[in-house]
Amino acid sequence: MKCEWGGRNVPNILVVDDSATDRVLAGSLLKQDADFAVSYAENGRVALDAVRADLPDAIVSDLQMPEMNGLELVEAVRRDFPSVPVVLMTARGSESIAAEALRRGAASYVPKASLGESLRDTVLRIITAASADRLHSRLMHSLDECECRFALRNDVELIEPLVAHYQEMLRCLPLGDEAERLRVGVALKQALWIAHHHGNLEIPLDAGMDDASFRELAAERRFLLPYSARSLSVSAHVTCEQAIFCVGHEGECIDVGRLPADNESVGGDHLWLSGFAFMPSVFDDVRYEEGGTRICLLKKAHVCEEPLDIDEE
């Protein structure tokens, strides 16, 4: 069965970059295996004209461009086309700007150094979440309250479906627009990956590895005791007023005092590490508990008069 994307059989992605070389590179990565139809724009103003003419399923944009930069494009798209998610491509050293763009409504970002490994999967994940089944969406909008707990064995492949499940639960919580629900999902996934890699697998925050070495060590420890016997404990309490997510791991305590400050990520291009800066920009409260083995995340409704107390969890 083919999935319909905005009336098309394949999703249409608008790539925005003032560098023709980078535009072609991003487009070629997205078109691998014919997963996406791709159109192009050289800056934010041209991109907005293209969006008005033919609404894309997602936008992939560079941050630094003439005429209208990526940050301004994110704001304009969120204001005028809130159903269209924007994924940013960032150069090394622009993490703080990317974090600001995420606060203003970008769905996610991918370092340019990791485009080959991450761009297509990131975009597919974002637009799949944005194009969730409409009937199920209507049902979840009628949800009044839900509480659930998961004990995830040492299987990183379960993180993605768990986040998708929680994103569906969030449909009952007024968040202002669809982009904000997607941002909560991205931040929650980063919390789970941090707990898995730096909690249960005990990979140091300052390991200083390249992506290949990092993945190799993670794959090795997944089947090596004591790491392989550990689980993630994940709970969610969602109402029409707010959502509370708690993620716990069974490894050594993560040294919260060494977390990156001023929106700077650590470990180079490991995407989940940007979550340390991203999570506070998405959630209304982020708490590290039990010596850094548990993180609790509070997201209030867009209008919330009497929120629950996060300490109740």
Tens digits of per-residue pLDDT, 131-167? 765 567 778 888 899 999 999 988 888 999 999 899 9
- With a cut of 70, say whether residue 310 has pLDDT above it: no
Residue 28, both tokens: 């070629």
Does residue 125 register a pLDDT over 60? yes
Q: pTM higher than 0.75 for the full model? A: no
Asked whether the predicted pLDDT for residue 263 surpasses 60, the reply is no
Q: Which residue has the higher pLDDT, 224 or 206?
A: 224
Burial class (CB in 10 A: 0-12, 13-18, 19+), 261: exposed
Residue-level pLDDT at 32: 84
- Top pLDDT among 34 and 277 is at 277
The answer, yes or no, to whether residue 179 has pLDDT greater than 90, is: no
The least confident of 63-72, 134-143, 234-243 is 134-143
Task: Report the CATH number of the 134-312 domain.
Answer: 3.30.565.10
Answer whether residue 226 shows pLDDT above 90.
yes
Share of the chain above pLDDT 90, in %: 44
As given in the structure block, the two tokens for residue 54 are 């033919």
Tokens 């560079």 locate to 62
User: What is the residue extent of each domain of the chain?
Assistant: 12-130, 134-312
pLDDT, residue 101, reads 78
Contact status, residue 30 vs residue 15, Cβ threshold 8 Å: yes
Residues 144 and 178 sit within 8 Å (Cβ to Cβ): no
Domain 12-130: CATH superfamily is Response regulator (3.40.50.2300)
* Residue 15 pLDDT greater than 70, yes or no: yes
Cβ neighbours around 206 below 10 Å, total: 9
pLDDT 10s digits, 278-301: 888 899 999 999 888 999 999 999
Predicted confidence at residue 276, as pLDDT, reads 72
**pLDDT greater than 80 at residue 258:** no
Residue pair 184/279 in contact (Cβ under 8 Å)? The answer is no
pLDDT digits (tens, 9 = 90+) for 92-121: 656 677 777 777 888 888 888 888 888 998
Written as six digits, the tokens of 228 are 């392989």
Cα–Cα distance between 98 and 91 in angstroms, integer? 9
| Mean per-residue pLDDT over the chain, rounded | 83
Q: Where does the pLDDT of residue 267 fall: very low under 50, low under 70, confident under 90, or very high at 90 and above?
A: very low
> What pLDDT, on the 0 to 100 scale, is given for residue 204?
83
